[in-house]
Amino acid sequence: MSKLLNQINFPADLRKLKKNQLKQVSDELREELISVVSETGGHLGAGLGVVELTVAVHYVFNTPKDKLVWDVGHQCYPHKIITGRKDSIRTLRKGGGLSGFTKRAESEYDPFGAAHSSTSISSTLGMAIANKLSNNNNNVVAVIGDGAMSAGMAYEAMNNAGALKSKLIVILNDNEMSIAKPVGAMSKYLATLLSGKMYFSFRETVKMIISAFSKRFAEKTAKAEDLLKGLVTGGTLFSELGFYYIGPIDGHDIDNLVQVLENVKNSKHKGPVLIHTITQKGKGYKHAEESGDKYHGVSKFNVKTGEQAKSKSNTPSYTKIFAETLIKHAEQDTKIIGITGAMPSGTGMDIFQNRFPDRMFDVGIAEQHAVTFAAGLATEGYKPFAAIYSTFLQRAYDQVVHDVAIQSLPVRFAIDRAGLVGSDGPTHAGSFDITYLSTLPNFVVMAASDEAELVKMINTAVKIKDKPCAFRYPRGNGVGVDLPDISEALEIGKGKIVRKGKQAAILSFGARLEECKKAAETLSAKSIELTIVDARFAKPLDEKLIMKIATTHEAVITIEEGSIGGFGSHVAQLLSERGVFDKGLKFRSMTLPDVFIDQDSPEAMYKKAGLDSLSIVNKVEDILKSNIVLAQNKTKNSN
As annotated, the active-site residues are 281, 367, 395
91-109 burial code (b ≥16 CB/10 A, e <16): ebbbeebbbbbbbeebbeb
Q: Give the whole-angstrom CA distance, residue 64 versus residue 280.
A: 27
Q: Give the whole-angstrom CA distance, residue 321 versus residue 318.
A: 5
What are the Cα distances from residue 227, in Å, to 122, 215, 235, 443? 29, 18, 10, 51
Angle between helices 543-550 and 567-577 (to 10 degrees): 70
What are the Cα distances from residue 91, in Å, to 253, 310, 340, 468? 31, 21, 32, 42
Sign of CA dihedral 592, 596, 597, 599: positive
Single out the residue of 240, 236, 227 nearest to residue 159, CA to CA: 240
Longest dimension (CA), the chain: 104
Angle between helices 120-133 and 152-164 (to 10 degrees): 20
Single out the residue of 209, 205, 207 nearest to residue 197, CA to CA: 205
Single out the residue of 14, 21, 139, 172 nearest to residue 84, CA to CA: 14
Query: Could you give the 3-state DSSP secondary structure of residue 345?
Result: helix
Strands 496-499 and 469-472: unpaired
Q: Using an 8 Å Cβ cutoff, are 509 and 535 in contact?
A: yes
67-71 sheet: strands from edge to edge: 67-71, 140-145, 169-174, 273-278, 244-250
Peptide bond into 64 cis (omega under 30): yes
Sign of CA dihedral 420, 338, 376, 362: positive
Q: Which helix (H) or strand (E) holds 22?
A: helix 22-40
Residue type, 201: S
Half-sphere exposure of 320 (CA within 13 A, CB side): 7
Query: Could you give the 3-state DSSP secondary structure of residue 9?
Result: coil
Residues composing the chain: 639
Sign of CA dihedral 551, 555, 561, 562: positive
What are the Cα distances from residue 626, in Å, to 493, 528, 589, 621, 633? 32, 15, 15, 9, 10
Residue type, 398: D
